[in-house]
Amino acid sequence: MIKRFNFEIKKNTIGLILFFTVLSIQSQEIDILIKNGHVFDARNTIDAIMDVSITDGKIIQVAPSISEEHAKQVIDASGLYVVPGLIDPHTHVFVGSRSNKFADGNNSLSPDDFSFKAGVTTVVDAGTSGWRNFQLFKTQVIDESKTRILVFLNIAANGMSGDKLQQDLNEMNIAKTSEMVLKYPETIVGVKIGHFKGSDWEPFDRALEVCRRTERPLFVECHLPEYSLKEQLNKMRPGDIITHSFENISERMPVVDKEGKVLPYVLEAKEKGILFDVGHGGAGFWFNQAIPALEQDLWPNSFGTDLHRFSMNAGMKDMLNVMSKYLNMGMPLKEVFLRGSYYPAKAIKRDDLGNLGPGNIADIAILSLRKGAFGFIDARNNSIRGDKKLEAELTIKGGKVVWDLNGLAAKPFENN
Ligand SMILES: [Zn+2]
């Protein structure tokens, strides 16, 4: 009897809490209310016309109809897609590092100049810094940018500061790299191995050891003849990420053979849980690899752009262009959205990103799907035609409008 009585009290208490929670949500001031958009949020299984309310930089509610009564600003997203802010897991944004005394080899861009206009709210810098110059990167760029910048820390102490330093084993210190990762656990989401030209697996193994110690994924960008793709994939663990997945310069790293069949060890790696990132860049995306791979279910897990000084003016352009490429190659729109934010957030173990769960950071991309005649170029200057293109109408980062293509959030002009 006593037990039952307690249960009743508990049930009533929960009921009351729920009642007051709903009441408080309804009467709460809303900073931004996005109305009538098609919300796609895989984590919370939402794929419908919904409203989204934002207050103090956080998502408050996603529901079929939220009253405008307490909203300071209303954005009508009719006919548009509302998705979690896009995440680009392969960029180079250590601007200014060219002028530091170690640097001569990186082509970084300022992230805010390129991110928001493509719906991107989070970028991961892929190894432009290592443990020795990460602090400089942080104070010079990460802390000064509006874009959320996360980092795959290079196993090479100075990151991509010239070829010579990236070949030096003395620069690859497990203890120092691990220490820096654990000092900034919120920002450093993994470790990068890349650009090593020797045949020694020591750099790869050291990077992997840092990942083991710090429980983070390895980000692999090795495209050198001495490191065969098969061996790389063998060494990688489930959750580790390989980039430039659809590149085949000088037949270095094909995922499909000459007959266009996906290689068996690549499929095995995918089954094992290795994540394939596009890593488009200036050279890392070939239609003759990507199209047969897509047809044979080797789909990328994320659309890393490898944003740098040259890729943005070539076939890559921006992340929405890469996503549009896949859309026109035959990937369904929802699968494209999944790989634009939810999957990369999971890959870097950031549950607070890539979804629109209440209480989470309000990073949102409002996208239009344009119909027309478009062309898309790969890294070999081959083109395909297409009839669909995603465009960023409006981007919200931490509850603030940071990009507004057609003035959806602006006041109508009155001549007074
Ligand atoms: Zn890169």
**Across 7-21, 85-99, 330-344, which has the greatest mean pLDDT?**
330-344
Give the residue-averaged pLDDT of 229-247. 94
CA of 394 to the centre of ligand 1 (A): 27
What is the pLDDT confidence band of residue 12, given thresholds at 50, 70 and 90? Answer: low
What is the pLDDT confidence band of residue 6, given thresholds at 50, 70 and 90? Answer: very low
**Model-level pTM?**
0.92
Give the residue-averaged pLDDT of 133-158. 96
CA 163 – CA 143 distance, rounded (Å): 27
Q: Where are the beta strands (DSSP E) in 345-382?
A: 364-377
CA of 160 to the centre of ligand 1 (A): 10
Q: Phi and psi dihedrals of 157, rounded to 5?
A: -55, -35
CA of 202 to the centre of ligand 1 (A): 21
5 pLDDT exceeds 50? Answer: no
Amino acid identity of residue 386, one-letter, is: G
CA of 127 to the centre of ligand 1 (A): 8
CA of 207 to the centre of ligand 1 (A): 16
The pLDDT score that the predictor gives to residue 398 is: 98
CA of 126 to the centre of ligand 1 (A): 6
CA of 128 to the centre of ligand 1 (A): 8
Give the residue-averaged pLDDT of 61-80. 97
What is the pLDDT confidence band of residue 13, given thresholds at 50, 70 and 90? Answer: low
What is the pLDDT confidence band of residue 315, given thresholds at 50, 70 and 90? Answer: very high
- CA-angle at 35, arms to 396 and 386, nearest 5°: 70
Q: What is the CA radius of gyration of the chain?
A: 23
CA of 369 to the centre of ligand 1 (A): 28
CA of 306 to the centre of ligand 1 (A): 5
Give the residue-averaged pLDDT of 42-58. 97
249 pLDDT exceeds 80? Answer: no
Give the residue-averaged pLDDT of 22-45. 87
The pLDDT score that the predictor gives to residue 197 is: 74
Q: Phi and psi dihedrals of 96, rounded to 5?
A: 95, -15
102 pLDDT exceeds 50? Answer: no
Q: What is the DSSP letter of 307?
A: B
Give the residue-averaged pLDDT of 15-33. 68
**Which stretch of DSSP H or E encloses residue 212?**
helix 202-214
156 pLDDT exceeds 90? Answer: yes
1 pLDDT exceeds 50? Answer: no
| Digit-coded pLDDT (tens) for 177-216 | 999 999 999 999 999 998 777 778 999 999 999 999 999 9
CA 127 – CA 385 distance, rounded (Å): 34
- Looking at 151-201, list the stretches that DSSP marks H as alpha helix, in order from N- to C-terminal side: 163-166, 174-183
CA of 301 to the centre of ligand 1 (A): 17
Give the residue-averaged pLDDT of 64-77. 97
CA of 205 to the centre of ligand 1 (A): 20
Give the residue-averaged pLDDT of 251-270. 90
Q: At what angle do helices 202-214 and 174-183 cross, to 10 degrees?
A: 30
Strand 30-41 versus strand 46-55 pairing type: antiparallel
Q: Phi and psi dihedrals of 218, rounded to 5?
A: -90, 135
Give me the chain's average pLDDT, please.
Answer: 91
CA of 375 to the centre of ligand 1 (A): 24
CA of 106 to the centre of ligand 1 (A): 9
CA of 95 to the centre of ligand 1 (A): 14
